[in-house]
Amino acid sequence: MTKTQSEAGPDLAALSKVAVPVARVQSVSLSYGNTKALVDLTLDIPAGKMVGLLGPDGVGKSSLLALLAGARQIQQGRIEVLGGDISKGSHRQRVCPAIAYMPQGLGKNLYLSLSVEENLQFFARLFGHNATERRRRIDELTAATGLAGFLNRPAGQLSGGMKQKLGLCCALIHDPELLILDEPTTGVDPLSRSQFWQLIGHIRAQKPDLSVLVATAYMDEASHFDHLLVMNAGTLLAQGSPAQLYQQTGCNTLEAAFIQLLPPELRALHQPVLVTPLAAQAEPVIAIAAEQLTMKFDDFVAVDAVSFQIRQGEIFGFLGSNGCGKTTTMKMLTGLLPASSGKAWLFGQELTSHDLSIRHRVGYMSQSFSLYNQLTVRQNLQLHARLFHLPEEQIAGRIELMLSRFSLKAQQHSLPDQLPLGLRQRLSLAVAMVHQPELLILDEPTSGVDPIARDQFWQLMLDLARNDKVTIFISTHFMNEAERCDRISLMHAGKVLISDTPANLAADHQDSLEQAFIWYLQQAGAGAATAAVSEPATLDQTAVPAKKPASRNRLFSWRRLFSYSRREALELKGDPIRGALALFGSLVLLLFFGYGITMDVDDLTFAVLDQDQSLLSQNYVQNLAGSRYFIQKPDLTSQAQLDARMRSGELALALEIPPGFGRRLSRGEPVEIGAWIDGAMPTRAETTKGYVLGMHLYWLAQQARLHGGSSTLSQQALVQTRFRYNPDIRSLVAMVPALIPMLLLMIPALLTALSVVREKELGSIINLYVTPVSRLEFLLGKQLPYLLLALLNYALMLLMAVTLFAVPFTGSLLALSLSVLMFVIFATAFGLLASTFTRSQIAAILLTVLGTIIPAVQFAGMINPVSALEGGGRLIGELHPASHMLTISRGVFSKGLQLADIYPSLLAITAAVPVVLLSALLLLKKQER
Amino acid sequence: MKQQQATTQQGWRQKLLNIWFLLQKELWSLWREPVMLLLIGVSFSLSIYLAGSSLPETLHKAAIAIVDEDQSPLSLRIQSAFYPPYFVKPALLALDEADAALDAGRYSFVLNIPPEFQQDVLAGRSPALQLSVDATRISQAFSGAGYIEQIVTAQISEYQHKHRSNTTLPVELVLRARFNPNLKSAWFGAVMELINMVTMISIVLTGAALIREREHGTIEHLLVMPVTPAEIMLAKILSMGAVVLIATALSLHFVIQGVLQVPIEGSVLLFLACAALQLAATTSMGIFMATIARSMPQFGLMMILVLLPLQLLSGGMTPRESMPQLVQYLMLAAPNTHFVQASQAILYRGAGFAVVWPQLLALSLIAATLFWLSLARFRATLSKMA
C-alpha cells in the first residue's frame, strides 16, 4: 500500500507511514476500586485503517478508548499514541489536536442547550480556527451530514441519530489523524446509521491516512472494517481482518465468529434464539389498544393520531427513525404523558394518568438510564420490588433470579454509574421485570448490549410471551430483533406508516427488513438527508484546501479561552431566568435588607413593679415611658409575674421600685432601683442598659435641679457625642455599602461553581480532557462571563444605593470600581475553587453558600467590626477579601476616601486572587482518574 | 391474580411502607455522597463553633483614641479608665491626626479632652468633652458611646469627690441582665448559627435532591410505579428532616453545650420539637423552590434569595422590634421568625410549652400551609418533570 503524505505537521509526518502503528498499548492494566477493567493488555492499532473493537459488555473497551484519547489517567503500563507517550502532559498537549474522541452515549460531549451551529463554533474555536475557516468547515460538514438545515436547533432537541452526526462533525472539525469513536451508532436508527458510515467512508476516501478506531455492538457494521480486535475480560482474545477471523473460527458471519472466539464458559451461555409464533386465538384478548392517540407540544405534533391493537402475549415491535414519536407514544401508554387527544386502553381499562392500580401490571424501561446512581444494583432492584408491593418473603428470591438471568451477580454491589452501558441497560431491564408485570413497555432496551446478552434477553422475552402470556411492546433499532417480533409498526414523523408481520414487510424487498425499512422511510420523505451523503463532491473540497490551524500547539490561546466564555455566555442567554435572578434578585435583596436590617434599638418594652406607688416613683417611671426608646406595658404585680413575663420575651426591661422609695429618697437615705434586662440577645441588652443608665442619670440631674440641692451632677462635665459619617445613625448608610460586597461575593461564586460542576455532572467535562484547551483557559474562560455579569450587577446596585436609598457617595468612584473589579475576580475564582472539590451540583451549592455566607455575614465586619472578633473568626475576618472590600465600600461611600486611602485594602484583595486561582488550577484535573 | 390482590390491599399500611422504602432510598443517596456528609458535618460543628467563639461581646476591644489637650491629672485618670476587654488601651493622638485616623477606620471612637479641662471642672464651669464616633460601625456606635459617657462621668465624679465632701448618688440603679448575666455573645451566636444551618441545609438537601432526580431522569421511573406524589414528597421531607434534626441534636449537645459551654435553660426536647416543625416548613419550601427552578443554577440563586432574608430579618441578627413595621409583618410569614423567638425563649429563658405555644402554633400553621402549597405544585408539575 502506498499512501500520500498528508498535510500533517512535520513532526507527525513520520506517523503516516504504514508500518508504524498509530498507537501501541503495552502491558496496560486499569482498575476501578476492586473491579479490573484492563489486565496487562498489549496491542497495536494499525495506522490508516478502520479498526473495530469488539467484545461483550464491561470488558474494558470504553476504558481502553478513553486511555488512548488521553481522557483517562494511565494506572499501569505504557501507551504510545502518534509517536509519543500519552501519559506525558507535553505529548498530549502536542498531539491532542490530531486526535478526535467521541465518548459513549448520545451527545455526551455536546452542550444540549446550545444550537448545532453554536456547538460547532465552540469546538472549532477550541482548535484555533479563524472565523472564515470555521464558517467553511461548518458549512461543509453540515452539508455532508444533512445537518445544514438544523443549524439553529438546540442540540438537546435533535434526534439520537442527529446528535451522533453532530458529535461526529464536532470531532472532525479539526482534521484529526486518529478518530476514536465509542459506540457511535448505539441507539441510532438504521437509516441514520447507514448515513453515518457512508460519511465516515467519504472522509476516509478524502483522507486516506486517517486512522479510525471504533467500538461497536453491531456486528454487521464491524464486518466491513479493515481490522478487528476482540476483547474479553480486559484482555485481547483475537485480532485480524474479518476474513482472517472467519478463517480462524470457521464461521461465515461475524456474529458467529465472535461467539466462537469467546471462552467456553461464556459461549455456553449462548443459545440460538428459538422463535415460536404466537398461537392463533379464536377470540384474542386485547392488552393494549390505542385510538387516534395524539401528542402535541406547542405547535409541534410529536404523535399524530396513532391507532393500534396489541393482543395479549404478542411481541409488538416499534421501529422508526430517531425522533419519530416512538418514545412519546410509549410514555403516553405508561401514563407519564397525558395525551393531547385520543384514547388508550390497557387490559380494557381506559388509561388515566392517576390510576395507580394499572401501574402494578406494567413494567416500563425508558430509553435513557433512569435508575439511582447512588443505590447499588441490588438496592435498585430491591427498591423497585418493594414499591411494586411484592410480598417481602418473595423479594430476595426474585432479585436473585433477576441477577442471574441478566448476569449481574458479580456487580450486585456496584453502583450503576461505575458500570458500562451494556450492564446498565441490563439492570434497567431487570428492574422493569422484577415485579412480574403482565405488560412490558420497553424503549430500546437492547441498545448498547452485546450480542450474547441480547440473545439471552430475547429468549427470555419469548418465553415470557409464549408461556406466561406477557404482552411485550418494544422499540428497537436492530433488524434481527425486529424479525423476532410477531408484528411490527414502522413509524415516521409521528405517524404509523405500516403495521404487519416482519415476513410480509420484508417480502417485497429482497427479504431484507432493513431494506424495507429504508424504503418506507424514504417514501415518507426521510431521504432528504441521504441526498447530501450520496454527493461526495461536497466533501472533496474539504480535504484539498485544508489549512492547518495556526495556533495548534500554542500553550495559551485567547481564542480557546473565549470559546469557553462564549459557550458560557450562550448558555446564560438561553437561560434568561438565571441571569435575571442574578441581577434583579440582588436588587430585591438590597431593597429588602436596606430597609429591613437596622441596628437602631427602639420601641423597647418595659414594665414596672412599683412597690412604692409614690409620686416620686411615678415620676421616675414617667421619665422612662416618655422617651421614644421605651414602650410601657401594664404594670407588674408580683415577682412571679415579673419572672413569667420576662421569660416569654414580652419584656425587654423590668424595673423594680422598692417600698418606701419616695420617703427614703426625700430623707436622703440611699435607695436602690432594680432593673432587669433580657440578656438573650446581647446587642439589644447592651443598648438597653445604656439607655436605662442615661435616663436614670438624667432623672437624677432633673431632681437635683428641682430641689436645688447641692448635687454634684449639675456641675459635672458634659460629654458631647458627635456621630460621624452617618450623623443620623441611619442603619441604611451603614448597611447598604456592606450589603453590596456581600451580594457580589455570593452570587458570582455560586454561578461559576455550578458552571464547572454542571459539566462534570452532565459529562461534557470530557471536552476539557481531550481538546487542546488548557486548564487555565478553561477556568478563565468560564470565569469571564460571570465576571461581566457581576460588574453589571455592581453598577445596578450602586445606582440603586445612590438614587433610591440616597446613601451619600462621598469618595472616589474609580477607587470603588477598581476594588469591586478585583473583588468579583476573587469571588468568581472562589467559585471555581469550590467546584474543584465537588462532583455534584448539590455539594457545590452547599460548599459555595457555606464558604461565602459565613465569612461575609459573620466575620467580614458587616455587623461586628473585625477588630472586635476573636479566634478563628478573627483570622478569617483579617484575611478574607470580603472584610477588606467592606472597609473600602464603607470608606468610599461615607468617608470620602480616595484611591490613595484604600490601597492597602485593595492590595489585600488583589493578593488573594492569584492564591485562589492557582489553587483551583492545581486542583483541577486535565484527565479523568 | 396476585397483582390484583395487591392493588385491592393497598391501604394506609401500603402507603406507609412506600414512604418508608422511598425514605431509605433518600438516605442511601445521601450516604453515598461523602462530600455532602462532610459539608453537613462541618456546618453543624465547625461553623457553629466559629460563630460561637468568635463573636465578640457587644462592646469588645473597641478601638479608642484620645486627644489629650489638657494633660492634667484628671485627663490622665480618664485615659487610664479605658482598658480591655471593653476597650483596647487607648492610643494618644495629636489634634490634627484625629480626623485622618477616623477616616482610615483605625478607631471607632476618638475622645477629645479640651485644654484647661480639669480647671474648668473644678471651677464648676461644666466644660464639654468631644466624643467622635464612627457611626458606620453601627453595632458599636450606640453602646460604645454610652459606655464612654458613663466611664468619663464616673471618673469625673470620683475625682470631684476626692476634692469635695464624699457623697454618693442619691439613687443607685442596680442593673442585672437576666438569662445571660454577662451578656455573652457566644451563647447567642452559636444558637443563631445553629438555626441558620437548620434552615439552609434542609432547603438544599430536599430541593437540590429533587432537581437532581429531574436532571438525571430518575423521577420518571418513580412515576410509572404505584406511588403517589404525596408519598414521594413525604419521603424526601421526612428523610432529610430527620438527618438535619439528628445533626441539630448532636450539635446542641456536643458543640454548644459541650465545647462552647453554653448553659441551656429550658427543655432540649421542646426545642427539638420546634426544630422539627421548622424543618417541616423549610423542607417543603425546598420542594416548592425545586418545582419552580428549571435547573440547578436557578435553584441555587433562588435559594440565596430566600435564605438571606430568612437569616437576616428573622430577628436572629438584629432585634425584630426595631425593623420597619412592614418588614416585621412580612417576616411573620417566615418560619424562622417564630423559630428564633421560640428557641431564644426555650434555650435562654427556660420557657416551657405554656410560654412558647403561640410560636409553635404559628410554626405549625406555616409548615402546614407550605406543605400543602408545595404538594399541590409538586403534583401539578410532576408530569412535566419526566
The rounded distance, in Å, linking the Cα atoms of A414 and A376 is: 5
Percent of chain A exceeding pLDDT 70 equals: 90
Is the pLDDT confidence value at A8 over 70?
no
Angle A730-A734-A740 (CA atoms, 0-180°, nearest 5)? Answer: 135
Angle A211-A214-A220 (CA atoms, 0-180°, nearest 5)? Answer: 120
Res. A708 pLDDT band, cuts 50 70 90: low
CA distance A100 to chain B (A): 27
The predicted-structure confidence for A90-124, as pLDDT tens digits, reads as follows 888 888 888 889 888 777 788 888 889 999 999 88
Please give the interface size between A and B, counted as residue pairs whose CB atoms are below 8 Å apart.
499
The rounded distance, in Å, linking the Cα atoms of A396 and A126 is: 52
Rg value, chain A, Cα: 37
The predicted-structure confidence for A236-269, as pLDDT tens digits, reads as follows 888 888 888 888 888 888 888 888 888 887 777 7
The closest CB to that of B131, out of A372, A665, A721, belongs to A721
Count of other CB atoms within 10 angstroms of residue A600: 17
Are A61 and A231 in contact by the 8 Å Cβ rule? The answer is yes
- Which of these CATH numbers, 3.40.50.300, 3.20.20.70, 1.10.1740.10, 3.40.640.10, describes A22-112+159-263? 3.40.50.300
Calculated CA dihedral for residues A872, A874, A880, A885, nearest 10 degrees: 160
Task: Suggest the residue from A646, A846, A874 to mutate for an interface test with chain B (most B CBs closer than 10 A).
Answer: A846
The closest CB to that of B301, out of A438, A677, A747, belongs to A747
Least confident segment among A522-531, A581-590, B235-244, B345-354: A522-531
Percent of chain A exceeding pLDDT 90 equals: 12
The rounded distance, in Å, linking the Cα atoms of A303 and A340 is: 9
Kindly give the residue spans of alpha helices, DSSP state H, lying in A854-926: 871-879, 881-894, 899-923
Is the pLDDT confidence value at A790 over 70?
yes
A444: its cell numbers:
430500546
Give exposure, B37-61, as e/b (b: 16+ Cβ within 10 Å): eebbeebbbebbbbbbbbbbbbbbb
* Minimal-distance CA residue of chain B relative to A338: B383
Residue type, A837: F
B317 interfacial to chain A (CB closer than 8 Å) = yes
Res. A323 pLDDT band, cuts 50 70 90: confident
The closest CB to that of A843, out of B39, B127, B132, belongs to B39
The rounded distance, in Å, linking the Cα atoms of A66 and A416 is: 19
Count of other CB atoms within 10 angstroms of residue B330: 16
Question: Which residues in chain B are closer than 8 Å to A603, comparing Cβ atoms?
Answer: 321-322
DSSP 3-state assignment of B272? helix
A809 burial class (0-12, 13-18, 19+ CB within 10 angstroms)?
Answer: middle
Are A351 and B189 in contact by the 8 Å Cβ rule? The answer is no
The rounded distance, in Å, linking the Cα atoms of A103 and A66 is: 8
The predicted-structure confidence for A431-460, as pLDDT tens digits, reads as follows 888 888 888 999 888 877 877 888 888 888
| pLDDT averaged over every residue in chain A | 82
A900 burial class (0-12, 13-18, 19+ CB within 10 angstroms)?
Answer: exposed
Q: How far is CA B138 from the centre of its chain?
A: 18
A731: its cell numbers:
442603619
Over residues A874-898, the mean pLDDT reads 86
B381: its cell numbers:
408539575
Q: Which residue has the cell 494511565?
A: A74
Residue type, A549: P
One-letter-per-residue 3-state SS of B277-313: HHHHHHHHHHHHHHHHCCCHHHHHHHHHHHHHHHHHC
The rounded distance, in Å, linking the Cα atoms of B129 and B127 is: 7
Report residue B113: phi and psi, to 5°: -100, 115
B234: its cell numbers:
413525604
Judged by CB atoms closer than 8 Å, whether chains meet at A845 and B145 is answered as: no
Judged by CB atoms closer than 8 Å, whether chains meet at A693 and B317 is answered as: no
Q: Which of A340, A352, A365, A382 is nearest to A439 (CA)?
A: A365
The rounded distance, in Å, linking the Cα atoms of A70 and A93 is: 10
Report how far apart, in Å, the C-alpha atoms of A526 and of each of A164, A522, A523, A535 are.
17, 5, 7, 17
Are B205 and B243 in contact by the 8 Å Cβ rule? The answer is yes
Composition of chain B by helix, strand, coil, percent to 5: 70, 10, 25
A202 burial class (0-12, 13-18, 19+ CB within 10 angstroms)?
Answer: buried
Pairing status of strand A630-632 against strand A604-610 = parallel
Interface of B with A in 152-191 (CB under 8 A): 152-153, 156-157, 160-161, 164, 167-181, 183-185, 187-189
* Minimal-distance CA residue of chain A relative to B15: A387
Judged by CB atoms closer than 8 Å, whether chains meet at B221 and A359 is answered as: no
Query: Is A22-112+159-263's fold the same as A286-372+436-526's?
Result: yes
Judged by CB atoms closer than 8 Å, whether chains meet at B176 and A697 is answered as: no
Most confident stretch, A279-293, A412-426, A759-773, B272-286: B272-286
Ordered by start, the domain boundaries in chain A are 22-112+159-263, 286-372+436-526, 558-593+729-923, 604-715
CA distance B298 to chain A (A): 5
Question: Which residues in chain A are closer than 8 Å to B31, comparing Cβ atoms?
Answer: 374
- What's the confidence (pLDDT) of residue B362? 94
Judged by CB atoms closer than 8 Å, whether chains meet at B22 and A336 is answered as: no
DSSP state at residue A15:
G
Give just the sign of the alpha carbon dihedral A432, A433, A435, A436.
positive
Of B10 and A65, the structure prediction assigns the larger pLDDT to: A65
Judged by CB atoms closer than 8 Å, whether chains meet at B133 and A438 is answered as: no
Q: What ipTM does this complex have?
A: 0.79
Residue type, A863: I
Ordered by start, the domain boundaries in chain B are 14-54+184-385, 64-163
Q: Which residue has the cell 435641679?
A: A705
Report how far apart, in Å, the C-alpha atoms of B266 and of each of A647, B49, B270, B343 are.
11, 21, 8, 9
The predicted-structure confidence for A463-472, as pLDDT tens digits, reads as follows 888 888 889 9
Task: Suggest the residue from B57, B166, B173, B325 to mutate for an interface test with chain A (most A CBs closer than 10 A).
Answer: B173
The closest CB to that of B177, out of A601, A677, A901, belongs to A677
The closest CB to that of A389, out of B6, B36, B175, belongs to B6
Peptide bond into A437 cis (omega under 30): no
Kindly give the residue spans of alpha helices, DSSP state H, lying in A242-288: 242-249, 254-261, 264-267
CA distance A381 to chain B (A): 12
Instruction: Write the class of the CATH domain A604-715.
Output: alpha beta
Q: At what angle do helices B46-54 and B34-44 cross, to 10 degrees?
A: 20
DSSP 3-state assignment of A554? coil
List all residues 6 or more positions away from A707 whose beta carbon is below 8 Å from its beta carbon.
none
The rounded distance, in Å, linking the Cα atoms of B148 and A317 is: 88
The predicted-structure confidence for A198-242, as pLDDT tens digits, reads as follows 888 888 888 888 899 999 878 888 888 999 998 888 888 888 888
Are A29 and A39 in contact by the 8 Å Cβ rule? The answer is yes
Q: How far is CA A44 from the centre of its chain?
A: 36
- What's the confidence (pLDDT) of residue A547? 44
B35: its cell numbers:
462530600
Distance, first Cα to last Cα, chain B: 30
Give exposure, A222-243, as e/b (b: 16+ Cβ within 10 Å): bbebebbbbbbbbebbbbeebe
Question: Which residues in chain A are closer than 8 Å to B244, comparing Cβ atoms?
Answer: none
- What's the confidence (pLDDT) of residue B2? 46
The closest CB to that of B301, out of A582, A684, A686, belongs to A582
Calculated CA dihedral for residues B356, B362, B365, B370, nearest 10 degrees: -120
- What's the confidence (pLDDT) of residue A713? 47
B135: its cell numbers:
457611626
A496: its cell numbers:
404509523
List all residues 6 or more positions away from A904 whose beta carbon is below 8 Å from its beta carbon.
none
- What's the confidence (pLDDT) of residue A545? 41
* Minimal-distance CA residue of chain A relative to B129: A719
Of A548 and B294, the structure prediction assigns the larger pLDDT to: B294
Report residue A602: phi and psi, to 5°: -145, -175
The closest CB to that of B179, out of A577, A678, A873, belongs to A678
The closest CB to that of B157, out of A366, A712, A849, belongs to A712
The predicted-structure confidence for B122-134, as pLDDT tens digits, reads as follows 877 778 888 888 7
List all residues 6 or more positions away from A303 whose beta carbon is below 8 Å from its beta carbon.
A293, A294, A295, A325, A328, A329, A332, A494
The rounded distance, in Å, linking the Cα atoms of A735 and B138 is: 9
The rounded distance, in Å, linking the Cα atoms of A928 and A764 is: 12
- Got the DSSP string for A94-129? HHGGGEEEE-SSTTTTS-TTSBHHHHHHHHHHHTT-
Q: Which residue has the cell 507511514?
A: A17
Of A556 and B140, the structure prediction assigns the larger pLDDT to: A556
CATH numeric code, A286-372+436-526: 3.40.50.300
- What's the confidence (pLDDT) of residue B323? 76
Res. A913 pLDDT band, cuts 50 70 90: very high
- What's the confidence (pLDDT) of residue A526? 60
Task: Suggest the residue from B17, B53, B175 to mutate for an interface test with chain A (most A CBs closer than 10 A).
Answer: B175
Give just the sign of the alpha carbon dihedral B288, B292, B298, B301.
negative
The predicted-structure confidence for B280-292, as pLDDT tens digits, reads as follows 999 999 999 999 9
CA distance A50 to chain B (A): 35
Domain B64-163 architecture: 3-Layer(aba) Sandwich (3.40)
- What's the confidence (pLDDT) of residue A4? 41
A482: its cell numbers:
425486529
Is the pLDDT confidence value at A520 over 50?
yes
